[in-house]
């Protein structure tokens, strides 16, 4: 039985991870978890796992209040609390389902403690890929992807040799505005952007899907997960989200992984790897529901953040941390109705162009780069507001 620490239990991936664990009590045991501000989720999870002794929350005041209700449980808070959960003894599988750069430090701490990492926090690899790869090698830890695209690639690689790969083909839905021209994006609203046609996801990742920044981050993630150069990683827009990714080998054979747009499938595969467990509570995929499948090459001028991600990934250094931090901050401004949709791209591009580049950053320098890029975006916004 795998003993699991789950960060981000109240989000979309975290909630579906709980469902997978509950469906297979003979396979998995949740021993600790974190949530953000959704304290109701703490009570819900404790009803299912009453023996849990370690829980993290965002705010200290929530930790204090919860301690009054659950005296036998140890509560942690803030980013420090995430690292404390990662450093617990007595577990072997760490799941990072939190969003953003803040997942990097607890991930590096967890690598020192466990055998398996199941990763849904792509921002960690985008910002700190070389540090994570070194830590995985130093501690002989297996990293398994939860993102549907990278899970698909992992499944397509089974029984094959990575040296025989010709290219990885990462599919993209195209997001909420995939059929709109740039001219039509001028005045789109937050509400429109959050209506993803295929997937149910959190706010930031849904907006990143619409700008294709998320797909760019997934290209960088694929590079570090599978040790494939960027010129062998391609993106294809596939509006049905049935083919989750493909691998083409040097003999021109192409292997694809297909299935429903259901994140429980890659979550469960990451937890049970290399076995496949029965999936409960989900309708099996039916080919007849999709008599046609469509594919098209993305236009880099239409999606400049996808183009930028390739540039950032190839140059490396601290640029991943800068791009991710700027994107997090710009998306927040958009979700707060402070900037327009297309301005997200401008803020991120300017941050990557103007923030200080560091070729071989330490963890401390990556943390500083993340903070600097966020401050750059805030100052850029304030300067534009002053001009108005």
Per DSSP bridges, beta strands 165-172 and 243-249 are antiparallel
Residue ranges of the annotated binding site for Mn(2+) are 147, 149, 218
- Tell me how far apart the alpha carbons of residues 133 and 225 are, in angstroms, rounded to a whole number: 8
For residue 382, the domain's CATH number is: 1.10.1740.10
Question: Residues 7, 66: one domain?
Answer: yes
Any domain includes 359 = yes
Any domain includes 274 = no
Report the candidate in 11, 38, 234, 213 with the shortest Cα–Cα distance to residue 123: 213
- Domain end point (choices 145, 165, 180): 145
Per-residue pLDDT of the chain (388 residues; tens, 9 = 90+): 999 999 999 999 999 999 999 999 999 999 999 999 999 999 999 999 999 999 999 999 999 999 999 999 999 999 999 999 999 999 999 999 999 999 999 999 999 999 999 999 999 999 999 999 999 999 999 999 999 999 999 999 999 999 999 999 999 998 888 888 889 999 998 999 898 766 666 788 889 999 999 999 999 999 999 999 999 999 999 999 999 999 999 999 999 999 998 999 999 999 999 999 999 977 889 989 999 999 999 999 999 999 999 999 999 999 999 999 999 999 999 999 999 999 999 999 999 999 999 999 999 999 999 999 999 999 999 998 898 7
Question: Residues 293, 338: one domain?
Answer: no
Give buried/exposed letters for 274-286 (b at 16+ CB in 10 A, else e): eeeeebeeeeeee
Any domain includes 272 = no
Would you give the distance in Å from CA 257 to the centre of its chain?
A: 19
Q: Do 202 and 108 meet the contact criterion of CB atoms below 8 Å apart?
A: no
Residue ranges of the annotated binding site for 1-deoxy-D-xylulose 5-phosphate are 122, 148-149, 173, 196, 209, 214-215, 218
- Domain end point (choices 145, 171, 202): 145
Question: Residues 296, 214: one domain?
Answer: yes
Structure tokens at 213: 């920044």
Structure tokens at 104: 């990097």
Question: Residues 291, 367: one domain?
Answer: no
Question: Residues 18, 92: one domain?
Answer: yes
Residue ranges of the annotated binding site are 11-13, 36, 38, 121-123, 147-149, 173, 196, 202, 209, 214-215, 218
Any domain includes 273 = no
The CA R_g of the chain, rounded to the nearest whole Å, is: 20
> What's the burial of 104, exposed, middle or buried (CB within 10 Å: 0-12/13-18/19+)?
buried
Any domain includes 327 = yes
Domain that holds residue 42: 2-145
For residue 19, the domain's CATH number is: 3.40.50.720
- Tell me how far apart the alpha carbons of residues 289 and 309 are, in angstroms, rounded to a whole number: 34
Q: Do 293 and 238 meet the contact criterion of CB atoms below 8 Å apart?
A: yes
Question: Residues 299, 168: one domain?
Answer: yes
- Tell me how far apart the alpha carbons of residues 154 and 314 are, in angstroms, rounded to a whole number: 22
State the total domains in the chain. 3
Residue ranges of the annotated binding site for NADPH are 11-13, 36, 38, 121, 123, 202
Any domain includes 266 = no
Q: Which residue has the tokens 């699991």?
A: 4
- Tell me how far apart the alpha carbons of residues 62 and 81 are, in angstroms, rounded to a whole number: 13
> Distances from the Cα of 189 to the Cαs of 172, 177, 196, in angstroms?
22, 11, 13
- Tell me how far apart the alpha carbons of residues 366 and 330 are, in angstroms, rounded to a whole number: 19
Question: Residues 88, 184: one domain?
Answer: no
- Domain end point (choices 119, 145, 171): 145
Any domain includes 227 = yes
Question: Residues 136, 29: one domain?
Answer: yes
Question: Residues 35, 92: one domain?
Answer: yes
Question: Residues 298, 356: one domain?
Answer: no
Any domain includes 252 = yes
Question: Residues 27, 62: one domain?
Answer: yes
Q: Which residue has the tokens 């304030």?
A: 382
Question: Residues 298, 330: one domain?
Answer: no
Phi then psi for 93, rounded to 5 degrees? -130, 125
- Does this model's pTM top 0.85? yes
């Amino acid at each position: 039985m795998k003993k699991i620490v789950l960060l981000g239990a109240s989000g979309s991936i975290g909630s579906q991870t709980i469902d997978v664990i509950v469906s297979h009590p003979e396979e998995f045991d949740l021993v600790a978890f974190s949530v953000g501000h959704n304290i109701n989720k703490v009570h819900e999870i404790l009803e299912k796992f009453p023996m849990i002794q370690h829980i993290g929350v965002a705010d200290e005041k929530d930790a204090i209040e919860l301690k009054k209700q659950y005296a036998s449980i140890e509560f942690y808070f803030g980013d420090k609390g995430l690292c404390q959960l990662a450093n617990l003894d007595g577990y072997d599988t760490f799941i990072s389902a939190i969003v953003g750069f803040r997942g990097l430090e607890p991930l590096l701490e967890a690598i020192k403690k466990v055998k398996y990492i199941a990763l849904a926090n792509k921002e960690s690899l985008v910002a700190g890929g070389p540090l994570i790869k070194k830590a995985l090698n130093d501690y002989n830890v297996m990293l398994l992807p939860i993102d549907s695209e990278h899970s698909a690639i992992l499944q397509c690689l089974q029984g094959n040799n990575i040296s025989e790969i010709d290219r990885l083909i990462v599919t993209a839905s195209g997001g909420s505005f995939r059929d709109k021209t740039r001219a039509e994006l001028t005045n789109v609203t937050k509400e429109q952007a959050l209506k993803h046609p295929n997937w149910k996801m959190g706010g930031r990742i849904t907006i990143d899907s619409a700008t294709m920044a998320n797909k760019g981050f997934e290209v960088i993630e694929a590079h570090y997960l599978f040790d494939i150069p960027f010129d062998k990683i391609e993106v294809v827009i596939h509006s049905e989200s049935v083919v989750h990714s493909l691998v083409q080998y040097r003999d021109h054979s192409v292997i694809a992984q297909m299935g429903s747009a259901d994140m429980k499938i890659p979550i469960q595969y990451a937890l049970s790897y290399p076995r496949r467990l029965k999936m409960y509570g989900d309708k099996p995929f039916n080919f007849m529901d999709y008599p046609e499948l469509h594919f098209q090459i993305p236009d880099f001028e239409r999606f400049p953040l996808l183009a930028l991600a390739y540039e950032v990934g190839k140059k490396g250094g601290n640029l991943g941390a800068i791009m991710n931090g700027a994107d997090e901050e710009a998306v927040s401004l958009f979700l707060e109705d402070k900037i327009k949709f297309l301005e997200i791209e401008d803020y991120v591009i300017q941050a990557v162009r103007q923030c200080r580049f560091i070729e071989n950053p330490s963890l401390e320098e990556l943390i500083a780069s993340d903070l600097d890029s966020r401050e750059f975006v805030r100052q850029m916004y304030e300067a534009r507001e002053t001009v108005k």
